[in-house]
Amino acid sequence: MTRIHLSRADITKVEENYVLEALRSGWVAPLGPMVDQFEHDIAERVGVRHALALSSGTAALHLALLHFGAGPGKVVVLPSMTFAASANAVLYTGAKPIFVDSQQSDANIDVALLIETIDDLQSTGQDVACVMAVDLFGRCVDYTALRPALQRRGIPLVEDAAEALGASQQGQSAGSFGSASVLSFNGNKIMTTSGGGMLLSDDADLMARARYLSTQARQPAPWYEHTEMGFNYRMSNVLAALGLAQHSRLDEMIKRRRAHRDHYAKALRPVEGVRLLGRSAGDDDADDNCWLTCIVLDPERISISATDLIRRLDMQDIEARHLWKPMHLQPLYRDGRMYGGDTSAALFANGITLPSGSELTEAEVSRVAHSVLAIVGPE
């Protein structure tokens, strides 16, 4: 039996053709017409005015944070449960990350708690540069509650939509909720440029500044003139070609991931003590991009632990993983401040992500569902 992976790059002839076209066009250096086209197409899909293609999502987060003044003496508030890239970008700037707990339903940041956190920080004289919201596993944070609350307090929002391209909330696309928003095209994301990211915003000044910083802060002069420190963060034309190809197939790839989610939901419905993260009764995850399907075990009802379930699946050549280990539990962030209780820690202890890639066949998803059922299901 071939091994079933969590989320592999889904590469076809379409991708081959686009990349070949880029190579043959001679545009193999950084930048080029396919980068411009890629930025244009993603901005249009998401519904924002400007897009900047970058070497990674982490680079995009770094530039967004710099724009909002994150730096020494400032704090940035973000969820504890996220990929390390979100918090690391805060460290790059010299600001201090402040972590907030998750809500039970979908592991996204608890918005009420986030607002309390900001008020507490401000009342004790802390300088909050911005909030970074993360749309975990392809599902948007509750922006109807969050955005007005931040506006009233005059705090900018950075949306880390690295996992959420194609998701939406009340008809608005993920990647358009922040004053600056970030996408990732890393290898296992919903679409890939092998490695890459994008900064999105309606703010022309923000984008001009980010563009300048992303190309070593080169001044407009006939020679290489520099007055401040910049970065080498731009995307190459060859990788943008891969991005264009993947984008042409994105809707189809999301559809397949959604079908996998529906398959898992149906197969696992009879099991008491297992729930699909983010999916409540009567909900069909229509707004999710279904990047990864996660299940959460109820330790009162299911005797096997998440770690053992992952191990048992691995023995059957099925790759499953833990949810993101919360940042406040990471040795790197041991001294960081955390607001909230044990929700994200419990989700980490009891949650696993199931193989969800768009390249998986229905038979493979069915094999995973059967394996999970055989391990956790009723006799």
Q: Give the footprint of ligand PLP on this chain (CB under 6 A).
A: 56-58, 82-83, 85-86, 134, 160, 162-163, 184, 186, 197
Enclosing H/E stretch for 247: helix 237-248
> Which amino acid appears at position 65 of this protein?
L
Output the smallest distance, CB 88 to ligand PLP, in A. 9
Q: Report which of 221, 227, 222, 182 is spatially closest to residue 200, judged by C-alpha positions.
A: 182
Q: Are strands 197-201 and 321-322 parallel, antiparallel or unpaired?
A: unpaired
The torsion angles phi and psi of 22, rounded to 5 degrees, stand at -65, -45
Is 255 considered catalytic here?
no
Based on CB atoms, which residue is closest to ligand PLP, 134 or 254? Answer: 134
Q: How far apart are CA 81 and CA 58, in angstroms?
A: 16
- Alpha-carbon distances of 234 from 26, 76, 184, 237, 291, rounded to whole Å: 18, 25, 13, 10, 25
Catalytic residue among 13, 74, 96, 189: 189
Question: Smallest distance, Å, CB 291 to ligand PLP?
Answer: 9
Q: What is the DSSP string of 206-242?
A: HHHHHHHHHBTTB-SSSS--BSS---B-BPBHHHHHH
- The residue (of 167 and 271) whose beta carbon lies closer to ligand PLP is 167
Least distance in angstroms from the C-beta of 208 to ligand PLP: 22
Shortest approach of ligand PLP to residue 223 CB, angstroms?
32
Q: Which residue, 48 or 85, is less far from ligand PLP as judged by CB? A: 85
Q: Nearer Cβ to ligand PLP, position 57 or 355?
A: 57
Choice between 182 and 274, CB closer to ligand PLP: 182
Is the separation of the CB atoms in 351 and 294 below 8 Å? yes
CB of 177 to ligand PLP, least distance (A): 14
CA distance 154 to 127: 12
With CB atoms as reference, the residue minimizing the distance to ligand PLP is: 57
Nearest-angstrom CA–CA distance, 326 and 13: 39
Q: Catalytic site residues?
A: 189
